[in-house]
């Protein structure tokens, strides 16, 4: 049976309709198998802001995605729901970002936090606001999981993944994280922000019981983060230079994917920072870095995980930002989101089957 909200004569070959739902597939939340939640929040971005506008951009571009899949029959029958964006979140993020920008500039010019009571007070407020947002998203994710629905989070900066991952780790005791990113995000409270976008995976490791953190695409990393990847048995990092050396030595990408997949548990959550891709695919992201994955390499890995017998139980897509003159980043983001959605849906079907 198709979702009740789809008209009986729904034509997947027709023009996509912008109805406020991702991919134009608008199922009531209480009937959905997968729900999308948007988190337009980016107050800790340390280079370029704008990812708070990512969810709206991806939503707008998603109706340009043709609803075909070689792995899912009639994907337009997937029961997808889009949760409304929390009122005022994006506006609050923009206002706070203007303030955090002054704080970050103070640090970049050599300022010491202990010398500025004003910045100390503001930092406490910034962290409190981030905590409130992350707790809201954790609770919302937990409610949806409790109701039997999978959740895909669309951000926003990478810190927006913390609440959803915490809820997933509670629901799935054998959870591993596949973290696709240009950055390791293992810094501790970067720039004083407890919930920094550069600290998300440190937070995940410290606040959840995830079994494994498997990282891919990492190529802009601090010495301390590299040391941590070597010392913490929960972390397996495939640096971008590892992949490039592997390919330049005449080896196949398939063999590299098999190494990655072998590190994952049976239940996988994909945390996808768009800057894990080559920046020609996401030039407007907050912190672009040369190198990275090709689009087909990313989607092939997502597909291979599903084919391995593992389940992708949830996902997030973060750090997409609009460019000045076009929607290129949004078009790429929408197609990554589609690949993640298909994989999560296949995980649901595998469980029910």
- Per-residue model confidence (pLDDT) at position 135: 93
What tokens were used for 136?
């809201």
* Extended beta strands in the chain, E state: 34-39, 80-82, 150-155, 175-180, 212-218, 235-239, 267-273, 311-318
pTM for this prediction: 0.93
Tens digit of each residue's pLDDT (9 = 90 or more) over 292-335: 999 999 999 999 999 999 999 999 999 999 987 678 999 999 99
Q: Residue 4, Cβ neighbours under 10 Å: how many?
A: 10
Tell me which DSSP letter residue 85 carries: P
Q: What whole-number distance in Å separates Cα of residue 201 and Cα of residue 41?
A: 17
- Predicted confidence at residue 339, as pLDDT, reads 98
E strand or H helix that includes residue 97: helix 89-108
Give the phi and the psi of residue 137 in degrees, each rounded to 5. -70, -35
CB 176, CB 269: distance < 8 Å: yes
Q: Which residues pair with 277 in a beta bridge?
A: 293
- Cβ-based burial of 205 (10 A; exposed 0-12, middle 13-18, buried ≥19): middle
Closest CA to 156 of 52, 7, 291, 298: 52
pLDDT number for residue 1: 40
Q: Was domain 22-352 assigned CATH 3.40.1190.20?
A: no
Residue range 211-228, pLDDT digits in tens: 999 999 999 999 999 999
The answer, yes or no, to whether the previous bond of 156 is cis (omega within 30 of 0) is yes
Q: What is the pLDDT of residues 158-212, one digit of tens each?
A: 889 999 999 999 999 999 999 999 999 999 876 777 777 788 999 999 999 999 9
Compute the distance between CA of residue 142 and CA of residue 151 in angstroms, rounded to an integer. Answer: 9
User: What is the H or E stretch that residue 102 is in?
Assistant: helix 89-108
List pLDDT tens digits, range 114-157: 778 887 887 888 888 888 999 999 999 999 999 999 999 998 89
- Domain parsing of the chain, residue ranges: 22-352
pLDDT of residue 6: 64
Listed residue (107, 94, 220) closest to 156, CA to CA: 94
Place of tokens 């913390």: 162
The alpha-carbon radius of gyration of the chain (Å, integer) is 19
């Amino acid at each position: 049976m198709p979702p009740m909200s789809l008209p009986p004569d729904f034509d997947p070959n027709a023009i996509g309709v912008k109805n406020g739902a991702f991919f134009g597939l608008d199922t009531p939340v209480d009937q959905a198998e997968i729900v999308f939640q948007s988190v337009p929040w980016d107050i800790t971005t340390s280079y370029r802001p704008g990812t708070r506008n990512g969810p709206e951009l991806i939503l707008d571009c998603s109706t340009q995605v043709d609803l075909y899949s070689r792995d899912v029959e009639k994907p337009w029958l997937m029961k997808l729901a889009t949760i409304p964006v929390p009122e005022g979140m994006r506006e609050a993020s923009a206002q706070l970002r203007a303030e955090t920008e002054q704080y970050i500039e103070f640090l970049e010019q050599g300022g010491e936090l202990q010398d500025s009571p004003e910045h100390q007070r503001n930092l406490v407020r910034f962290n409190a606001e981030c905590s409130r947002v992350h707790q809201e998203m954790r609770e919302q994710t937990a409610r949806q999981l409790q109701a039997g629905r999978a959740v895909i989070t669309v951000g926003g900066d990478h810190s927006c993944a913390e609440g959803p991952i915490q809820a997933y780790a509670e629901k799935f005791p054998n959870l591993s994280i596949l973290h696709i990113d240009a950055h390791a995000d293992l810094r501790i409270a970067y720039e004083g922000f407890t919930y920094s976008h550069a600290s998300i995976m440190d937070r995940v490791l410290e606040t959840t019981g995830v079994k494994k953190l498997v990282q891919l695409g990492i190529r802009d990393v601090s010495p301390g983060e590299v040391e941590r990847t070597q010392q913490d048995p929960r972390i397996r990092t495939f640096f971008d230079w590892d992949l490039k050396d592997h390919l330049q030595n005449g080896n196949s990408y398939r063999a590299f994917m098999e190494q990655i997949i072998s590190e994952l548990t049976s239940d996988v959550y994909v945390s996808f920072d768009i800057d894990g891709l080559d920046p020609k695919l996401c030039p407007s992201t907050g912190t672009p870095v040369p190198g990275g994955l090709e689009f087909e390499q990313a989607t092939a890995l997502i597909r291979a995980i599903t084919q391995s017998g593992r389940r992708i139980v949830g996902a997030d897509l973060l750090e997409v930002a609009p460019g000045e003159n076009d929607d290129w980043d949004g078009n790429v983001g929408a197609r990554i989101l589609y690949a993640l959605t298909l994989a999560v849906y296949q995980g649901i079907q595998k469980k029910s089957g």
